[in-house]
């Protein structure tokens, strides 16, 4: 009878994955829809010189992040506690980018951190942007200089996070500093000096903390979500909508629309409202 071990999927390739179990890294063939972060059972293969095995069971996931398409959803990573959105001035992070990921975090019940990287670059506009999201947790760092990096290390203790951000925002640099190891990266074909990871990977910072870096989360479509899922991703608009006169209020031009009233009173930020309307209209065009 083959020996069975339990481990965590730490790297995922096209047709195989790497599982860490009992301080060993074991190359495995996987079950369908196995993703980085999964806790799995594996049967070890006895007739090879290198540790190898086959995944036989995926344990129930505490959380899942999926890429949602028109016909089916593709899981990207599991057992995450926080979605960490990188906010930078170069490359510029837009409010639309942030709002899209806040909607996804809401759908998949993930907590959020806005991580302002590259604070060594002076940019007054970034503070205006961050002020829009003052109700969310925000940490400001410079991965390049190390400024405030200890606060991030302290914050991440006991969490499993996944970074999302534009290429060049510093995901791999930050991860390298967190784990104390330079990560291998590949240059993009445009020769602009921007680096990107090529596989989904989980890096353990300590026994209770980890970070996932996945190329699959760079651009996730949200136009296949429902109107209700979009609305709940904007909690201030969602709360105001409960007070609207009509249950099917479009929050555009109906009488006694509390969303519009809150917008006029500056309770709802205008850019957030415009992104909400844009996302809803995109759903109607699918």
* Domain 64-217, CATH: 3.40.50.300
Question: For the residues 127-152, what does the mean pLDDT come to?
Answer: 94
Using the predicted structure, report yes or no on whether residue 218 has a pLDDT greater than 70.
no
Tell me the average pLDDT of the chain.
87
pTM of the predicted model as reported, rounded to 2 decimal places: 0.88
Angle at 71 between CA 70 and CA 74, to 5 degrees: 90
The domain ranges of the chain are 4-58, 64-217, 227-285
Using the predicted structure, report yes or no on whether residue 103 has a pLDDT greater than 90.
yes
In this predicted model, what pLDDT tens digit does every residue of 225-257 receive, in sequence order? 999 999 999 999 999 999 998 888 889 888 889
CATH H-level, domain 227-285: superfamily: Probable gtpase engc; domain 3 (1.10.40.50)
In degrees and rounded to multiples of 5, residue 142 shows phi and psi of -130, 110
Question: For the residues 212-227, what does the mean pLDDT come to?
Answer: 80
User: Domain 4-58 is in which class?
Assistant: mainly beta
Residue with tokens 């000096």: 193
Q: What does the CA dihedral 249, 106, 176, 122 come to, rounded to 10 degrees? A: 30
Using the predicted structure, report yes or no on whether residue 49 has a pLDDT greater than 80.
no
Measured CA to CA, the distance from residue 173 to residue 105 in angstroms comes to 23
pLDDT for residue 193: 37
Using the predicted structure, report yes or no on whether residue 4 has a pLDDT greater than 90.
no
In this prediction, residue 71 has a pLDDT band, given cuts at 50, 70 and 90, of confident
In this prediction, residue 135 has a pLDDT band, given cuts at 50, 70 and 90, of very high
């Amino acid at each position: 009878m083959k020996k069975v071990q339990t481990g965590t999927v730490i790297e995922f390739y096209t047709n195989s994955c790497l599982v860490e179990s009992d301080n060993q890294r074991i190359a495995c063939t996987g079950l369908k829809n196995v993703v980085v972060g999964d806790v799995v059972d594996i049967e070890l293969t006895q007739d090879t010189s290198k540790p190898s095995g086959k995944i036989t069971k995926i344990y129930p996931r505490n959380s899942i992040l999926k890429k949602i398409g028109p016909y089916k959803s593709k899981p990207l990573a599991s057992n995450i506690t926080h979605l960490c959105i990188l906010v930078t001035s170069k490359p510029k992070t837009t409010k639309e980018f942030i709002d899209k990921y806040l909607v996804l975090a809401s759908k998949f019940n993930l907590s959020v951190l806005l991580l302002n990287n590259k604070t060594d670059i002076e940019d007054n506009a970034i503070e205006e942007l961050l002020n829009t999201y003052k109700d969310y947790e925000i940490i400001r760092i410079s991965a390049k200089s190390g400024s405030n990096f200890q606060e991030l290390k302290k914050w991440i203790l006991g969490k499993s996070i996944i970074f999302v951000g534009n290429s060049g925002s510093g995901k791999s640099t930050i991860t390298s500093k967190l784990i104390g190891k330079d990560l291998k990266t590949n240059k993009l074909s445009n020769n602009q000096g921007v680096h990107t990871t090529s596989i989904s990977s989980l890096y353990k910072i300590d026994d209770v903390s980890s970070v996932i870096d996945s190329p699959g989360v760079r651009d996730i479509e949200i136009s296949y979500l429902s109107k209700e899922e979009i609305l709940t991703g904007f909690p201030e608009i969602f709360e105001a909508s409960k007070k609207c006169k009509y249950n099917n209020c479009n929050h555009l031009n109906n009488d006694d629309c509390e969303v519009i009233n809150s917008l006029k009173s500056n309770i709802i930020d205008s850019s957030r409202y415009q992104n909400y309307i844009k996302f809803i209209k995109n759903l109607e065009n699918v």
